């Protein structure tokens, strides 16, 4: 009998607690305080939201939250890219990714580039781009010019990889006189752009490391990584620099060069991966949505969304030919932060480049 009474008492207690909880939930009203851990959680017809002006978390009606969630949002996002190659080729390559991001973010995305690296840097500094993909050096330069940006993602070739790439020193495949960076002395050297990380800053550091002075070679600025490679192939430049994927994949895949047209005679230290950065002038909730969308941009999800087509030989977590989550021969994007680019700041100090300040 005592056991029966205990069971009944426990049941009554549970019912009482449920009633109290239910009563507390139903007693909530719009304007009541909630907590950070409750953000975006629902209770009946209410949802916990954060007010950037008051810096408070409060319960508001779901209808009100939906109506105000896009307050301050632009009508479209402008996504900037440095002209690392022909601008039309860049837009063709990245458009499927922009379509994916547009769907995830809920805004149209406008492609933007410029005739040179400086143009995109200045656009970032002037706030004319909302999201921008450029090399680590351009990121540092943009900050130095007053851009309000946060780096949010770097590209990787496998899901567990680190965002990094390399600068290559190249020569014509048939040129037996050039087999190392020291052989660049006295040559017409193609750099890509004075503001390029892998086509300007790191190559300069490499040459300085060998004791080269600027008078030891003739510098030519080709205007893009693809143009640097083509200048070497055509003999306009004796030797040159370009980033690794441009030499190894991009130009071979699209038929602009054949394997063996150029040879790699120098490889830089690992360069922290080119970041995608978001403007801090955008509403905080939009920044968070953009970050989430970009970090979801990978081959697996592009296949799942029907943007890329895979055959039975492909498996998740692998690169897929002709499926480019902005960069070819990459799987997707992982989080990065500003500290990752301290290595570029160090190379700036080594080269004493006037552009770094």
162 φ, ψ (degrees, to nearest 5): -105, 145
In the chain, the largest separation of any two C-alpha atoms, in whole Å, equals: 103
Residue 67 is predicted with a pLDDT of: 61
303 φ, ψ (degrees, to nearest 5): -70, -45
Q: How far is CA 51 from the centre of its chain?
A: 28
Q: Which structure tokens are listed for 298?
A: 């990978």
What's the chain's length in residues? 357
Per-domain residue ranges for the chain?
29-69, 77-163+273-356, 167-269
Element holding 170 (H helix, E strand)? strand 167-172
Identical fold between 77-163+273-356 and 167-269? yes
Q: Are strands 188-191 and 239-243 parallel, antiparallel or unpaired?
A: parallel
51 φ, ψ (degrees, to nearest 5): -100, 115
CATH superfamily, with its number, for domain 77-163+273-356? Periplasmic binding protein-like II (3.40.190.10)
| The Cα angle at residue 344 between residues 340 and 349, in degrees rounded to 5 | 135
Please answer whether residues 196 and 351 qualify as being in contact, where contact means their C-beta atoms are separated by less than 8 angstroms.
Answer: no
In this structure, which CATH number among 3.40.50.300, 3.40.630.30, 3.40.50.2300, 3.40.190.10 belongs to the domain 167-269?
A: 3.40.190.10
Residue 39 is predicted with a pLDDT of: 86
The closest of 107, 155, 120 to 287, measured between CA atoms, is 107
Residue 12 is predicted with a pLDDT of: 43
Residue 122 is predicted with a pLDDT of: 97
Residues 102 and 55: their CA atoms lie apart, in Å, by 29
The tens place of each residue's pLDDT in the chain, 357 residues long, gives 555 454 445 444 444 444 434 444 458 888 999 998 888 888 888 998 887 678 888 998 877 776 667 889 999 999 999 998 889 999 999 999 999 999 999 999 999 999 999 999 999 999 999 999 999 999 999 999 999 999 999 999 999 999 999 999 999 999 999 999 999 999 999 999 999 999 999 999 999 999 999 999 999 999 999 999 999 999 999 999 999 999 999 999 899 999 999 999 999 999 999 999 999 999 999 999 999 999 999 999 999 999 999 999 999 999 999 999 999 899 999 999 999 999 999 999 999 887 777
The closest of 330, 332, 324 to 92, measured between CA atoms, is 324
Residues 127 and 314: their CA atoms lie apart, in Å, by 41
Cβ-Cβ contacts under 8 Å for 84 (sequence gap 6 or more): 90, 135, 192, 196, 224, 225, 226, 243, 246
Residue 182 is predicted with a pLDDT of: 98
Residue 27 is predicted with a pLDDT of: 84
* Helix then strand then coil, % of the chain, to nearest 5: 40, 20, 40
3-state DSSP call for residue 264?
A: strand
Q: What is the DSSP string of 87-148?
A: HHHHHHHHHHHHHHHHHHHTS-EEEE--SSHHHHHHHHHTT--SEEE--HHHHHHHHHTT--
Please answer whether residues 353 and 207 qualify as being in contact, where contact means their C-beta atoms are separated by less than 8 angstroms.
Answer: no
3-state DSSP call for residue 294?
A: helix
Please answer whether residues 290 and 77 qualify as being in contact, where contact means their C-beta atoms are separated by less than 8 angstroms.
Answer: yes
Residues 9 and 151: their CA atoms lie apart, in Å, by 58
Residue 14 is predicted with a pLDDT of: 44
The pTM (predicted TM-score) of the whole model is: 0.75
Instruction: Report CA-CA distances (Å) from 233 to 101, 146, 192, 283.
Output: 37, 39, 15, 47
Residue 23 is predicted with a pLDDT of: 42
- Helix and strand counts by DSSP (H, E) for the chain: 12, 16
């Amino acid at each position: 009998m005592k056991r029966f009474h205990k069971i009944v008492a426990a049941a009554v207690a549970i019912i009482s607690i449920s009633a109290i909880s239910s009563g507390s939930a139903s007693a909530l009203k719009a304007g009541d305080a909630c907590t950070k851990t409750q953000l975006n959680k629902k209770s009946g017809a209410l949802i916990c939201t954060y007010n950037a002006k008051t810096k408070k978390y409060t319960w508001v009606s779901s209808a009100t939250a939906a109506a105000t969630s896009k307050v301050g949002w632009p009508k479209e996002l402008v996504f900037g890219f440095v002209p690392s190659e022909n601008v039309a080729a860049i837009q063709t390559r990245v458009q499927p990714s922009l379509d994916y991001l547009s769907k995830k973010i809920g805004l149209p995305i406008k492609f933007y580039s410029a005739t040179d690296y400086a143009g995109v840097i200045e656009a970032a500094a002037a706030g004319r781009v909302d999201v921008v993909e450029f090399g680590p050096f351009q990121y540092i330069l943009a900050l130095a010019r007053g851009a309000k940006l946060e780096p949010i993602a770097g590209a990787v070739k496998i899901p567990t990889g680190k965002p990094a790439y390399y600068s290559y020193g190249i020569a014509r495949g048939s040129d037996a006189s050039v087999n190392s960076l020291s052989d660049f002395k006295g040559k017409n050297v193609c750099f890509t752009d004075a503001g390029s990380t892998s086509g300007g800053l790191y190559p300069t550091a490499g040459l300085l490391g060998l004791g080269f002075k600027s008078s030891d070679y003739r510098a030519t600025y080709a205007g893009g990584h693809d143009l640097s490679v083509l200048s070497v192939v055509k003999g306009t430049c004796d030797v040159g620099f370009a980033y690794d994927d441009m030499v190894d994949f991009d130009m071979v895949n699209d038929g602009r060069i054949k394997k063996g047209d150029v040879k790699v005679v120098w490889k830089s230290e690992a360069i922290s991966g080119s970041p995608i950065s978001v403007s801090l002038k955008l509403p905080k909730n939009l920044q968070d949505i953009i970050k989430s969308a970009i970090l979801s941009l990978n081959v697996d999800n592009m296949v799942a969304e029907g943007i890329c087509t895979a055959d039975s030989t492909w498996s998740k977590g692998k690169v897929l030919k002709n499926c480019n989550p902005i960069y070819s021969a990459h799987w997707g994007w992982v989080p990065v932060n500003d500290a990752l680019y301290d290595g570029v700041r160090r190379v700036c100090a080594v080269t004493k480049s006037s552009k770094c300040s």
